[in-house]
Amino acid sequence: MRFIEPHAHMVSRTTDDYVKLASAGCAALCEPAFWAGFDRSSPKGFYDYFRQLTVYEPKRAAKFGLMHYCWLCINPKESEDMVLADEVLSIIPEFMASPNVLGIGEIGLNKNTRNELAILEKHIDLAARHDQLILVHTPHLEDKRKGTLLILDAIRNNGAIRPERVIIDHVEEHTIRDVHERGFWAGMTLYPESKVNAPRAVDMMEMYGTQRIWMNSACDWGVSDPLSVPKAGLEMKRRGLSAAVVDQVVYQNPAQFLGQTPRFKLPAG
């Protein structure tokens, strides 16, 4: 099954995972900048992380025949410290010229605080000024819908961002409709223990269709499964969806969204 893994934190995964992804039919993978599981102590920590995402991880992926792309930002968990966040924002532009950078992400909110929102707005402005795609992380707490609506409003308030160039990730049953109605793309994150599992993802497809959605594993340093996208493709088939629809959701949809930047290219054949 050919597929694109549009959201994977490969810096925290082993080479075994690259072998699994390549063997299962992965054509390309994309790595948003995120929280490392601990707070970094200075902008230099982010500088090194961005070098890892733009220089070293693409080389590691290439050893397994995989294209590696990335997104840049300071994540909402660490943007509560606005001095640190401003310094990190100031170093992002120099990395934007790297050939594997797709846009700004995963930005968003964690606890929906005033500081998080201020830094989110600065990221949106940065993306607008540099004509970048945006990948959004939505909060996992009980106020997920409130956070999602705050984020959608912040993007629309900017006025310079076209919604079809933004993907709102980690949608669930109570947020996907808000995202689609406003013209954005919606990402479903498949986790073994939380977020959405494959049967729920297929339920949502049955209710809301298969346009403007993608699925991802968001595999990272926690309990997660880098093969959750092809496994969900199997679940789609088990539920009676055609091979063409599976291909649309796991390959063509992410290729369509990501193809809005000329940086994103798929391997020939």
Compute the least distance from the CB of residue 32 to Zn ion, in Å. Answer: 5
CB 53 within 8 A of CB 256: no
Round to whole Å and give the CA distance between 247 and 173: 23
Of 34 and 69, the one with the shorter C-beta distance to Zn ion is: 34
Of 34 and 49, the one with the shorter C-beta distance to Zn ion is: 34
Of 92 and 218, the one with the shorter C-beta distance to Zn ion is: 218
Compute the least distance from the CB of residue 189 to Zn ion, in Å. Answer: 8
Whose structure tokens read 């539920």? Answer: 239
Round to whole Å and give the CA distance between 161 and 156: 7
Of 186 and 218, the one with the shorter C-beta distance to Zn ion is: 218
108-136 b/e (C-beta count within 10 Å ≥ 16 → b): bbbebeeebbebbebbbebbbeeebbbbb
Of 213 and 218, the one with the shorter C-beta distance to Zn ion is: 218
Compute the least distance from the CB of residue 186 to Zn ion, in Å. Answer: 15
Q: How many residues does the chain have?
A: 269
Burial of 159 (0-12, 13-18, 19+ CB in 10 A): exposed
β-sheet bridge partners, residue 167: 135, 185
Compute the least distance from the CB of residue 53 to Zn ion, in Å. Answer: 13
Round to whole Å and give the CA distance between 117 and 57: 30
Compute the least distance from the CB of residue 211 to Zn ion, in Å. Answer: 23
Compute the least distance from the CB of residue 9 to Zn ion, in Å. Answer: 6
Round to whole Å and give the CA distance between 238 and 228: 15
Binding positions for Zn ion, rule: CB under 5 A: 34, 218
Task: Look at residues 105, 184, 176, 112 and name the one whose alpha carbon lies nearest to residue 141.
Answer: 112
Of 132 and 138, the one with the shorter C-beta distance to Zn ion is: 138
CB atoms within 10 A of CB 47: 16
Compute the least distance from the CB of residue 37 to Zn ion, in Å. Answer: 12
* DSSP state for residue 249 in the 8-state scheme: I
Of 133 and 218, the one with the shorter C-beta distance to Zn ion is: 218
Burial of 84 (0-12, 13-18, 19+ CB in 10 A): buried
Round to whole Å and give the CA distance between 201 and 248: 15
